[in-house]
Each structure stands twice: as C-alpha cells, then as structure tokens.
Amino acid sequence: MQHTIYWIEGDGIGADIWKAAKPVIDAAVECAYHGQEELIWKELLAGEKAYKETGQYLPEQTLEALKSARVAIKGPLATPVGTGIRSLTVALRQTFDLYACIRPVKWYEGIIAAVRHPEKVNMTIFRENTEDVYSGIEFASNTDEAKKLINFLNQNFNKNIKSECAIGIKPMTEYGCKRLVRRAVQYAVKNNLPSVTLVHKGNIMKFTEGAFQKWGYEVAKEEFADCTITEKEVREGADPQNKIIIKDRIADAMFQEALIRPEEYSVIATTNLNGDYLSDALAAQVGGLGMAPGVNMSDSLAIFEATHGTAPTVAGKDVANPCSLLLSSAMLLEHIGLDRAGTAIQKAIQNCIDKKIVTQDLAKEIENAETVSCSSFGKLLTAEIRQMSF
C-alpha cells in the first residue's frame, strides 16, 4: 500500500535535519513491513525556499495541495520578530483549521535533564491552535487603527486605555474550546490515561480563560459522563471507579505542578498562549525541544512538525539534532496505521542514546558521550533499524 506524505523542508536547519531523517523514516517502513507499505514523498514549498523560487512565502500551489491532503510534515519555518510576515506555522493552522496542537512529552533514558526526576514526566499537551491572542487581531502603537479601537473602548465601555497603547484582542469561542477539550478527553479514553487537566488563567481573564474552564467541564459532563469524574467529586468522597479524572489548574500554578508533581498529570488541555509556554517548558524538563515532537490537526488534516526553531547560526553545518523531526514522523506513521515503523524510530533513538553516540546538543546532556554530525547520526539510526527484528 502506498501512502502519500507531503513534506516541507523548512528554513535554517531544515535542510540538514531532513537529509538525515528521510532515510531513517524510509528504512523504518521498509524493514517493518518488508515492502508491503511504501511512502511516496511529495515536497511542498513554504518559507524562505519558497520565496526564492516563487516570490511567495506560502505559495498557492502548497495551499491547494494541502486542501486534499491527509497528512504532511514540516521542518521549522522562520518568523520575523516585530516586523515582516506573520508566522507561517500560524497561517497554516488558521487556513486549514488545525485547531489541535498535540505534543507528547516524555523522557528518553540516559539524557541528563534539568530536573531530578525526568522519568516522571509523561504528558501530552492539547493546545487550542486557532483562537486566543494568536488570532492576529492586534494594532501597532499610535496607528489610526489602534487609536480608533482605543477610543471606542474608552467611550463605550468606560475604559481608560492610554491613546498611545499598542492593542490586541483575545477571541475565544465555546465551539473552539469545546472541540479541543473533546479531543483531549477522547485521547485519554483511547489510551486509558488517568486524567485530563484543564489549564487556564480564569482567575484573572474570567470571560475568556474562565470560559475555557467552564466549557471544558461541560464537555466532560455532557459527552463523557460514563467515563469521567471531576476531581472535586473525588475529593468529596466519590469513587472514581477507574474513570478519567477531570482536573483544572491555574496556568502559573501548573508550571509549578509540572516541576514538583509531574506524575499526577497525563493529558493537558489548554488555551493557545498557555499551551505554547507549557509545551516548551515541559520539553525542557526532559532534554529540550530537540526531543519534542508535535502535530497540528483538524478533523481531516494532520501536519506534523519539528517543534524547535530554525537555529540559523548552525544551519548548513551538519550539527543539528534531527530527533524532533524523527519523533514527529513516528507520530505520523502511527497516525496512518504504520505503528511498527513509528516504534522502530523511537527505539533506534533510544539505542543510540544508550550507546552514547549522539549529536552535539544531546552530547552536552549525556555523560561521556561521543558527538557525531547530524548526517552521521541519521546513518547510525538507519543501521539500528536494519538490525531490528520485526
């Protein structure tokens, strides 16, 4: 059976990590399924490579191809700070309604992490992907648009916003919040996980973040009453009876909880900005973004991605770590039913860590490790997979 995989190289180290990763992915499918399954790679242009070839950062041809796609995977795309184009990753999320950013975070044995017990970190973050302050409704300081909006708010809602302010809007809908939480609970049910925690800042932003909490509890009660129970009910003496416990935490408190009691959390459902912060912070607890996979999903399209940045200072030097891209590809393979191949990639990475032969970023976190190039690391992973029994 053939599976079409659309791929975007990405900017910066994108070319380096793809050169290392693609042979590993192909080897995993070949060895796991002995030619019965095949990946058909089709490149799509986006970012700086697209601009050089087409004069557009996100060409219409790319958008057209993704309209009928089931899966795609991309490297990191550059985003200027404070000027220029908005994030291409955000543009893809909004264009294709990729409302769920899903990032599993777990520790690979042998990596010296920033916390004493990284093995206790095993969480999957479901981050709402299309609303919140990432919706892009903001206006620069002292512009006519900002002044008009500020004047409207001051005059009609008795506010006292300074006229020279930059200003943004934080839209959040019941529909958007509920479908994100629904997906998180479905994931917990499917994988027999003990809890889903709603992370929000509802004590301050009562009608946006607070509504996320409220709507999340409503989804659990209305649609999953047979398999969920609230933490409050458990505290009051109710028997959880192997049900999924629905919790909620204030966002700033959750950062502390993730550090001191990570084993108490398995699935996190949260808003867009909170999820951005939290997923990176959790990745830091297990070795950094170089080991963090992710996917942006709608109900019909899944775009998997390396979750780190473009690292322009090391681009082209063949020193980058391809593991984020590879672990995301493992998620992709599992998504299309090629679980054995996805597991093989994860196992190969662990084997190389066990042997202490890794790229330079991982070598800094593993005692007495041997540093190899990005391309050499890819070859080592491929060799590991070809030695496996399936």
Q: Which sequence positions are flagged as catalytic?
A: 134, 201, 252, 276
d(CA 206, CA 137): 20
Q: Which of 293, 290, 287, 248 is closest to 267 using CA atoms?
A: 248
Give the helix ranges, DSSP H, for 34-158.
48-54, 60-67, 88-95, 144-157
3-state secondary structure string across 172-209:
CCHHHHHHHHHHHHHHHHHCCCCEEEEEECCCCCCCCH
d(CA 183, CA 224): 11
Residue in the block written with tokens 């800094």: 364
Q: Which residues lie below 8 Å from residue 324, measured CB to CB, with a gap of 6+?
A: 17, 289, 290, 291, 292, 293, 294, 306, 307, 308
For residue 294, the surrounding DSSP H or E stretch is strand 293-297
Cβ atoms of residues 361 and 367 within 8 Å: no
Structure tokens at 146: 């900002």
Number of Cβ within 10 Å of residue 34's Cβ equals 9
d(CA 154, CA 352): 60
Structure tokens at 128: 């709402």
